[in-house]
Chain A
Amino acid sequence: MPSPALPLIRATAANAIKAVTASSPNSRIPKPLKFDQNRHLLSRFAFGPWGSDNPGTPDTWFEKQVVLGQKSAGYAGIAGLTDLYPYLLRPPAQTRAQLTAEGNLYGGTSQDQVLRATLALQAWSPAQLYETVVDFFSNRLNVANYSDGVWANRASYDRDVIRANAFGTYRAMLTAAMKHPAMLMYLNGDVSTWVAPNENLGRELLELHTVGITAGYTQTDVVDSARILTGRGVDGRFSDYQWSNGAHSPGPVQVLGFTHANASTATGEEMGDAYVAYLATHPATATSLARALCVRFVSDTPSAELVQAVADTYLANDTAIVPMLRTILRSTEFWDSRGRKLRRPMENVIATVRQLKLTAVDLDKGATALANLGSGLGNRPLQAAAPPGYADTQQSWLSAGALLRLWNAQLNLLNGAWPDSITKPTPDFLYGGPAPATVSVALDALAKTLIGTAMTTNEQNALLEYLGESPGLSLTRSKLPSILPHVAAQLLHTAHHHLR
């Protein structure tokens, strides 16, 4: 067992790295992966490295990303994206009017644009930290894209709830979510009234969005949670949030430690905001959110100590999101966790695009190609049907069917299967220069480009067997150039690329 490097949280990422590399003989990194600070950083706080580009020192990279994320908030990560996808910026009522004008009121045009924009930004926005945080919280406060009744307001949810607050506080994000027509429609808050409160939103607010199931609330708490939120509705045109005194359930309420006389329906909305703020700052919410972040960024089984440190950061910074990430970045546990996460299927595809530095030939077609690539993977962003969103553990995604689909996607991207949409990697790119003289040198060059490290003997032998050739064979006589995408794909099929 490794000797744990204490303390867990250091003043800087550089210090944490130093502590981890000092005990490197005891590294917990699974073979054949090795400590690689750049690839680790960019596999966790980004959707994968962009080719072999060097991010610089992690502390500096992170702070630059924070500034970049603030500058690129919303959809500014790709110039021209909102011109291409104008629904991204429309308020719900305008979206509704525009969809009506297009003769496709209940159609998915607006939601298609959100999906494509999300994928394009994940693959190609330089504000990668911002996109990983958006991805995390979209999933945490899931409102399934394409679910009933959100055709006019899902884009606004993405923009005004998630992206607007991704680098702000969770309290603000949650407060906005609990007043958003998309969330209200998705979890039936729109039809919950004093006559018979619908428990769906009140329950999930406790279980998924804040304190979690182990916080010790009861069915009575759930009913009161639902009652507190009655009155929050959606206008008759299914577009905008609307408060209604007449729908609110008056009378005393108690949920965990929150109590209120709730004497007048006129103050019901304000009380609800206080309730949401109470939950956002509850220690159980801090732990639950911190744990989910550690599972996203560190490992499927983060230590209780790391979770606590991140939860403490959350409470000490008025529920701000970025400081929690900074705590993770400066932990030795983070830097000792390379390869201890499985990339989720869609993330694997995006990471493939980034590793190969593929760009969109045409932005809309490129984004659409990414969406199509994801259609067989069950993991397209914003599309988890159920309220908990997608799981982010190996157990949930390690599947034979998914492996074969991913290997197929990797090969297709290497083959340039969508010439009008996404670029194809050139041999020069794959070799990192002009074609080498021998098979052996060529394979090493491919490994450097695709997995960022030299191959082990076993790996080199496996590829030589695949080629049926000897290492010293001249490349001009080898079949490697003629099946280059297939050999390159083999390197992307490995643990180097499938682990996060």
Chain B
Amino acid sequence: MNPPPAVDPLTRHAAEVGAALESQDQAWSKGFTRRRFIQGAGMVGVAALGTQLVTTRASFAAPTAAGADPTSLNSMVVVFLRGGCDGLRVVVPNSSTLGFDHLAQARPALLPAASTLLPLADGWAANASLAPLMSLWNSGELAFVPAVATSPLRSHTTAARYMESGGQPTLTTGYLDRLLTTLGPGTTFRAVSAGYGQPDSFQGYEEKIALDSLSAYSMPGWSTEDAAVAAESLYRGLDMPLASKVRDTVASLATAATARAQATPANGAVYPSNNSFASGLRDIAAMLKAEVGLQVATVDVGGFDTHTDEANDLDRLLLSVSQSLAAFMTDLGPQRRSRVTVVVMSEFGRRVAQNASGGSDHGFGGLMWLLGGGLTKSQVAGRWDQLSPTALDQGDVRGLNSPFDVLGEVATARLGAGSLVTMFPDLAPAPLGLLRR
């Protein structure tokens, strides 16, 4: 072997810096190039449909057209409980077989009063704050998965990132972004996050809409339609994510107007007031009722980091979450919600033992909830080990069920994802039988 040619260190360094800058540029403009490629690749039919969808005021009629793939009519709504929800106080393992005796010893202050618990099945019982959801349990539209595994670090940001990256924290995309890629092109409103920004699960290449309020989602100014055209024209020819977002925003205005027409809750549904989670769900319901082609929606609720005074704080929060979800399901009505599956998750569960402040510290195994259409039945599903001092993971509920099996099953059974390879690259799918195809 010849020695490598001598390179002037400054030149080599310049080349390295140049390469680093190039990768920065790519990171910054990520999404834009890729999207242009998809449009450029043709898909004439889809493109034509898309044009129609975003520029006419006619409601989105395509999904109900005869012959459409029925899974293309379905939607998934992911509710993320930020802060690490204490699943053990939401759905209590309430029998000796499930390990109630250890629970009673380790967290007496965090056990709901026995008389208030709502019996579910197989020894499980729900917190009384879930009462608004019990009619869904009775109609086969509510299920839970306990002992959901998460990141071992027990940190909010790391665990949330783990969950929302689909167990791939080194990837720059979220699992819902990769689901959208798997599903192929859709409408402008196919992916919506209710709130101020978008969650990590939405990071990536596919276009999404983040909106905190459907009622505020309109173009201001003199002659609003011309104003929207002008705003878009001012970005003509620009190659940056902001320009791409402006184009999508302007293209979505007409569809948003049709959704706004559906904003009044139906079927006597009453959403809690002054509650951003409830108003987010109300907006999502409006878009679903308006048939704008919504496939994936996300909405967050904060406040679950109950290090102190958990019994009061958590129950109050759970009640408002349950009331909001119940209103959402009522608003949609039995027929419309048969095409909607809601998944409720959090970044981790909390420690089995209570702490000295009437709360609980960060734990491991958490709880997922499923509501709505397509459930095989109401159940508490998945693996569970009887709680005991030796059956814990550093004092926490073990992670026996993969959250990605649950999410993956929704994707395949309900949304028609043919494969989970893109969404969850390392997952050997082991569905829990939660959902009907």
Contacts and interface: CB of A to CB of B under 8 A. Distances in A.
A117 to B, nearest CB: 23
A379 B196 contact: yes
Contacts of A411: 220-221
A462 B230 contact: yes
Given A200-B307, A303-B21, A495-B238, A400 B211 contact: yes
Given A463-B230, A465-B230, A3 B18 contact: yes
Give the interface size class of chain A.
35 or more
A300 B356 contact: no
B245 A404 contact: no
Given A303-B17, A408-B220, A489-B221, A388 B157 contact: yes
Interface stretch (B33-41, B246-254, B382-390, B410-418): B246-254
Interface stretch (B23-31, B264-272, B338-346, B398-406): B23-31
Given A386-B156, A400-B245, A490 B227 contact: yes
Contact of A213 (B28, B153, B227, B362): B153
Among the interface residues B229, B243, B246, which one has the most CB atoms of the partner chain A within 10 A? B246
Contacts of A459: 234
Interface in A190-239: 191-193, 195-196, 198-200, 203, 207, 213, 219, 222
Given A6-B14, A196-B355, A495 B235 contact: yes
Interface stretch (A105-113, A135-143, A252-260, A390-398): A390-398
B181 to A, nearest CB: 17
Contacts of A345: 196
B398 to A, nearest CB: 15
B231 A490 contact: yes
Given A199-B361, A378-B197, A404-B217, A398 B241 contact: yes
A395 B308 contact: no
Given A300-B27, A378-B195, A486-B227, A401 B17 contact: no
Among the interface residues B154, B219, B233, B243, which one has the most CB atoms of the partner chain A within 10 A? B233
A466 interface: yes
Contacts of B221: 407, 411, 486, 489-490
Interface residues of B, number: 72
A385 interface: yes
Contact of B357 (A3, A188, A299): A188
B226 interface: yes
Contacts of B21: 1-2, 4, 28, 303
A461 interface: yes
Interface in A323-348: 339-340, 342, 345
A387 interface: yes
B256 to A, nearest CB: 9
A486 B222 contact: yes
Given A207-B155, A301-B28, A303-B17, A400 B217 contact: yes
Contact of B252 (A203, A305, A400, A462): A400
Interface in A343-401: 345, 376-379, 385-388, 391, 394-401
Contacts of A340: 28
Contacts of B220: 404, 407-408, 411-412, 489
Given A188-B307, A198-B307, A397-B197, A30 B157 contact: no
Contact of B210 (A8, A400, A466): A400
A196 B249 contact: no
Contact of A6 (B13, B27, B226): B13
A111 to B, nearest CB: 18
B356 A495 contact: no
A30 B234 contact: no
A404 B219 contact: yes
A435 interface: no
A499 B238 CA distance: 13
B16 to A, nearest CB: 9
A378 B280 CA distance: 14
A211 to B, nearest CB: 13
Contacts of B240: 30, 339, 495
A191 B357 contact: yes
B198 interface: yes
A325 to B, nearest CB: 21
B433 to A, nearest CB: 34
B46 interface: no
Nearest to A495: B242
A318 B222 CA distance: 55
B155 A494 contact: no
Interface in B357-398: 357, 359, 361-362, 394
Contact of A399 (B13, B210, B243): B210
A405 interface: yes
Interface in A389-428: 391, 394-405, 407-408, 411-412
A304 interface: yes
A493 interface: yes
A376 B211 contact: no
Given A30-B239, A303-B17, A391-B197, A401 B216 contact: yes
B20 A465 contact: no
Contacts of A32: 238
A386 B302 contact: yes
Nearest to B222: A486
11 contacts: A4-B18, A188-B357, A199-B361, A378-B195, A388-B157, A401-B210, A402-B212, A404-B216, A404-B249, A461-B233, A466-B229
Interface of A: 1-4, 6, 8, 28, 30-32, 188, 191-193, 195-196, 198-200, 203, 207, 213, 219, 222, 299-301, 303-305, 339-340, 342, 345, 376-379, 385-388, 391, 394-405, 407-408, 411-412, 458-459, 461-463, 465-466, 483, 486, 489-490, 493-495, 498-499
Given A376-B213, A388-B157, A400-B248, 10 more contacts: A6-B17, A192-B356, A196-B355, A199-B361, A399-B198, A399-B209, A411-B220, A411-B221, A458-B237, A465-B229
* Pairs of residues from A and B, 4 with the lowest C-beta to C-beta distance, nearest first: A378-B196, A401-B211, A399-B210, A462-B233
